[in-house]
Each structure stands twice: as structure tokens, then as C-alpha cells.
Amino acid sequence: MSSDTATYLTTALGSKGKHISEIKKTILRPLIQLAVKAIEQEHIEDGILDRLSEKYNLPQEKVDEWYSAVLTIFRAHLRSSNNPMKTSDFKQCLQELKFESNCIEDLCAVLYGHKRPALIHNLTEKIKFFPTLKSCRWRIDITISSSYLSRILEPTILMEWTLSTGQRCMFEMSMTKFHLLRHTIASLLLKIQELENSSVSKAIVPS
């Protein structure tokens, strides 16, 4: 399991994971504090990474890269909260990413500490931009022309959607648009299935 998760994190980190083994505890702690602030949507002072670079006499590029890596790990780990990893498994995963042991302890202290529920809540709320569809009802509406009783006009589809906010939306669409919608949804479901069957996606949810 840890190998799969490490593979997923390595993929998510990309080039940001190349110099993880060089991160020391002294610089990691302020980077963790910044990552927590970012997830909690608190104000972060302009130029803070520049000042950290000067304070610890480190190249600006590496400080930027390390902060991005820490934030990526936080987000990836917290988003898998529905299937949380054991602390021991996550530590092993971080070891595979070449973190030093004292850095691993600091990361786990935050991700499994008292702030965890608030971090998960803030991260979840941040990505909820739109309400979700809870139910969908539809029926075919066939209208007969009043001028020519023998002539049936093109059928339309009456849709009724109920959103997660409780809002109900009713609208009408042509048969052509309905079939286009049906085809688009089927294509999206197929793509989602392909993604779920990919090795990277399987690594997101530890068994």
C-alpha cells in the first residue's frame, strides 16, 4: 500500500520531489506553517519565501520547490481522508520519498494532530464551488398542432433537477439536445471508469 501511495505522491509532486532528501527540520517547520495557513485560507505575507531563503541562506528556487512539495503532500493526504492511512504506513511512504526521520515526525504531528479535522474541512469547503445534482426527473412532452390536428410537432423533453442546496430547476430541451446530453454524460462516465482503473487512481485510495 505504501508503495502505491508513494507512487501517487511522486506523480503529484513531479519535479518538486527531486530534492526532498535535502530538506532539514529547521526549514521544514516554517514551510509546514505556511502550508497550514494556505489550506486554512489565512493571510500569507508577500515575500515570505524570499525572507526564509535569506534567513536560512538557501537558494530561492529550492525554498519555493520545497514549499510547493509540502503543500502538495498536505493536499493529497487530506483529500484521501475518507480512506485514511495509518500513521505507520504514511511514515513509510514519506521514507520512500527520502524525507529525513525528524522531518517525517513533524509532518505526521500536523497531519494526524488536533488540526486535522479543521484542515480537512477547510480543504473540502475550498473545492466546493458549485452545488451537486441530487436527482433528475424527465418526461417527453408531445404537442399536437391546433391548426393541423393530424400534425404532431417535434417532441420536447421536460427536465426537473434537484440540487444539493435544495433548489429545483425545471427547463425544456429539444430531442436533439437531450441526445447530445445523454451522449456527453455517457462519454464522461466512460472516462471516469478508465481513470478509476488506472494505476495512479488506485494509489489514491489505500486498501
Span 133-152, mean pLDDT?
A: 71
Output the pLDDT for position 34.
Answer: 94
Output the pLDDT for position 122.
Answer: 84
69-85 per-position pLDDT tens digit: 999 899 888 877 666 77
Residue with cell 530538506: 23
Dist CA 190 CA 207 (whole Å): 24
Confidence of residue 1 (pLDDT cuts 50, 70, 90): very low
Dist CA 70 CA 31 (whole Å): 7
Please say whether the dihedral angle defined by the alpha carbons of residues 98, 200, 205 and 33, taken in this order, is positive or negative: positive
Over the chain, what is the mean pLDDT?
81
> Which distant-in-sequence residues (6+ apart) come within 8 Å of 57 by Cβ?
none
In the chain, where are the structural domains located?
2-126, 133-204
Dist CA 65 CA 97 (whole Å): 15
Greatest mean pLDDT among 8-12, 125-129, 160-164 = 160-164
Q: Is the confidence at residue 206, as pLDDT, over 50? A: no
Q: Is the confidence at residue 2, as pLDDT, over 70? A: no
Angle, in degrees to the nearest 10, between helices 87-96 and 101-111: 140
| pTM of structure | 0.58
Span 33-53, mean pLDDT?
A: 90
> Do the beta carbons of residue 63 and residue 49 sit within 8 Å?
yes
SS3 82: coil
Percent of the chain with pLDDT over 70: 80
